[in-house]
Amino acid sequence: MQIQDLPYPDPGVPDARSGPRFLWWLGRNQLDGQIKALAWGLLHFLAVSALPFCVGLAVQSVIDRSGTRLSLTGALMVACGACIALGELMLHRTAVTNWITAAARLQQLLARKTALLGSALTQRVAAGEVVAVSTGDVEKIGWFVEGVSRFSAAAVTVVVVCVTLVVYQPALGVIVAVGVPVLAVAVLPLLPRATRRADFQREKAGRATELASDTVAGLRVLRGIGGEELFLDRYRHASQEVRRAAVRSARMWSLISAIQVLLPGLLMIAVVWRGVQLARDGRIEVGELVTVYSAVMLLTYPLRHFEEIAMAYSFSRPSARRAARVLSLERAVDSTGSLAAEVPDGDLYDPVTGLLAPAGRLTAVVCGDPDAAGHLAERLGGHASEPEQVEEPEAGRGPKNTSVVLGGVPLDELPLESARTAVLVQDKDPVLLSGSLRELLDVPASGLVSAEAALSAAQCADVLDALAQGALDAGDPMDARITERGRSLSGGQRQRLALARSLITDPEVLVLDEPTSAVDSHTEARIADGVRSLRAGRTTVVFTSSPLLLDHADRVVLVHDGEVVAVGVHRELVRTEPRYRAVVTREAEEEAAAGTADRTALGDVTADDEAVLDGVLEEIEETA
């Protein structure tokens, strides 16, 4: 795989059972690149290792006064230099290619997993962890993948040099062959401690970063309550913990580096001391001593890659573990689903809360807890992180998983593409991507709803005017540019554009979570009319507490403490249900209950009284 061929047509199915298994799978899928890097690495390292023999031959040629041998040795050294340059160039090229392609494969896997899980991903894994895996962890894993080829070439070179020295000069070669393995494994007992300290440092650094992010995000609130010094002291304490952890980690790695310098030096002293004795006794030539000495000195170069691969693995192992944890997440069922790919139609039913949204009707859901409403909206879209557990009513059977049912078909058993086509959920804080308005509305859709109809229903006329005025070079407002996340627009304008984008898709079921919370009451009333008209014959579920939207709904459902407690129409529920009235009119439940008791004590309400009450409610809604 070359860089220009990225992205992969199919990144594959990773082995996410553990971090080491994932690293092994990643390396196995780049076997061609690793073999190429190994070949170029061997050329480079063996050419470097051949230089001592060339130097020894050159010295011996001078001693023997042989010009021919000296010339041949010089030509051999030039050839070694060319091989060193070529090998280093191509090794770097192939190793970096392995790094980039491994990182690209991991990022594609993460993107595919994110698309598969949707909002359930951040419910099961912290968003910061997903970001860390897709940024810093990708780089560390790529570093290890790149280092494997360099280490493999260095290890083979060390073995070849040791064997060659034993054959070339056994008296000194045996010392080198025994000493080099000791150098290679001397730091292994220290690596677990160094790894633990590095992990502890990263944990402390992550905690300090999280604390700093929270402080910056809530700076305005902190200033309002005078809590800046408190959080500053907390961050100061956290940063000092990071510093101490970094110093402890650096001490361990500096000890490993010192050992990597000390032991080769001791080996070199032993070789020189023994070689001088042999040369003085006439058992070896001076050139042979120079060759062995130079070989030992140059062996420190490939041996440095033993330390590099140890560091790369210690840093990439926790990164691979986090990546494997994210990649091992699955939907409640297999993404292919167990049923046919047809999009079902019919009533939408949630067996956990008992919420029923009849087909082709506009159902409004009132929930006093905004977080519970958001969770329920995600459940209706099949995005719940874990299936709820309910007890099987039949004796002798354990709990069973439940899923939202559309037309008698559980959403979890549908293929992912069919489930997303059937139900669309717009949360309370939708995101607008940068680009033109035409590009914003260019989404998968049924084709039955035009952009003009969707914009009209969402009351976006003033938004189009604002975009046209802000982009004088755009002749058509549809070509006007929208800045990142729609920052140039007001909250209400962004909300209405997001609503138009949802309406144009024309799904079988549309779930809207507080779609008009940022618009004024007059615009909200027109939006209610527009949505009801445009979605006629389609199933629509709106989570809201606005009387203007509730009054346009065919069916209003009150969800309290996780279950449906009342069903009816808006005006009826306002009169008869204290908990509903408490949420919609913002009055205390005690006051609502007292009002209901007073009306009950007065006896039956006459038709005239009911008409008067309806008139009062209408006036309240208009003023609201």
Q: Is 274 exposed, middle or buried (0-12, 13-18, 19+ CB in 10 A)?
A: middle
Q: What percent of the chain has pLDDT over 70?
A: 82
How does residue 454 score in pLDDT terms, banded at 50, 70 and 90? very high
pLDDT at 334 over 50: no
**3-class SS at 280?**
helix
pLDDT at 252 over 80: yes
Query: How far apart (Å, rounded) are the C-alpha atoms in residues 189 and 406?
Result: 59
How does residue 499 score in pLDDT terms, banded at 50, 70 and 90? very high
What is each CA distance from 175 to 166, 179, 219, 278, 282, in whole angstroms?
9, 6, 65, 13, 19
The closest alpha carbon to 443, from 374, 405, 369, 500, belongs to: 500
Q: What is the pTM of this model?
A: 0.60
Q: What is the largest CA-CA distance in the chain?
A: 130
The average pLDDT across 466-491 equals 74
Q: Which two tokens stand for residue 105?
A: 């494969």
**3-class SS at 341?**
coil
pLDDT at 12 over 80: yes
The average pLDDT across 365-381 equals 88
Residues with Cβ < 8 Å from 423, sequence gap 6 or more? Answer: 348, 380, 381, 382, 406, 411, 507, 508, 509, 510, 511
The average pLDDT across 479-483 equals 80
pLDDT at 600 over 50: no
User: What is the per-residue pLDDT across 143-174, written as a single tens digit (0 to 9) for each?
Assistant: 888 888 888 888 898 888 888 888 888 888 88
**How many other C-beta atoms can be found within 10 angstroms of the C-beta atom of residue 617?**
17
Query: How far apart (Å, rounded) are the C-alpha atoms in residues 235 and 305?
Result: 38
How does residue 350 score in pLDDT terms, banded at 50, 70 and 90? very high
Can you give the C-alpha Rg of the chain in angstroms?
36
Q: Is 164 exposed, middle or buried (0-12, 13-18, 19+ CB in 10 A)?
A: middle
Q: What DSSP element (H or E) covers 558?
A: strand 555-560
| pLDDT at position 162 | 86
As a CATH number, domain 3-10+18-327 is 1.20.1560.10
Query: How far apart (Å, rounded) are the C-alpha atoms in residues 447 and 505?
Result: 8
Query: How far apart (Å, rounded) are the C-alpha atoms in residues 524 and 542?
Result: 13
Residue intervals of the chain classified under CATH 1.20.1560.10 are 3-10+18-327
User: What is the per-residue pLDDT across 204-240, written as a single tens digit (0 to 9) for each?
Assistant: 877 777 777 666 666 666 666 666 677 778 888 888 8
Residue intervals of the chain classified under CATH 3.40.50.300 are 348-388+400-623
Looking up tokens 């300090």, which residue turns up? 208
**Tell me, what amino acid is at 386?**
E
Q: Which two tokens stand for residue 393?
A: 């009513």
User: What is the per-residue pLDDT across 86-137, written as a single tens digit (0 to 9) for each?
Assistant: 999 999 899 888 888 888 888 889 888 887 776 567 667 766 667 777 777 8
| pLDDT at position 258 | 85
Looking up tokens 């913002």, which residue turns up? 586
CATH class of 348-388+400-623: alpha beta
Range of weakest confidence among 184-193, 229-238, 338-347, 477-486: 338-347
What is each CA distance from 4 to 104, 109, 333, 445, 483, in whole angstroms?
12, 19, 36, 33, 31
pLDDT at 534 over 60: yes
pLDDT at 285 over 50: yes
What is each CA distance from 64 to 51, 55, 106, 286, 394, in whole angstroms?
20, 14, 60, 11, 100
| pLDDT at position 331 | 64
| pLDDT at position 615 | 52
Query: How far apart (Å, rounded) are the C-alpha atoms in residues 193 and 197?
Result: 6
User: Contact 530/458 with Cβ under 8 angstroms?
Assistant: yes
How does residue 341 score in pLDDT terms, banded at 50, 70 and 90? low
| pLDDT at position 394 | 44
| pLDDT at position 590 | 47
| pLDDT at position 569 | 93
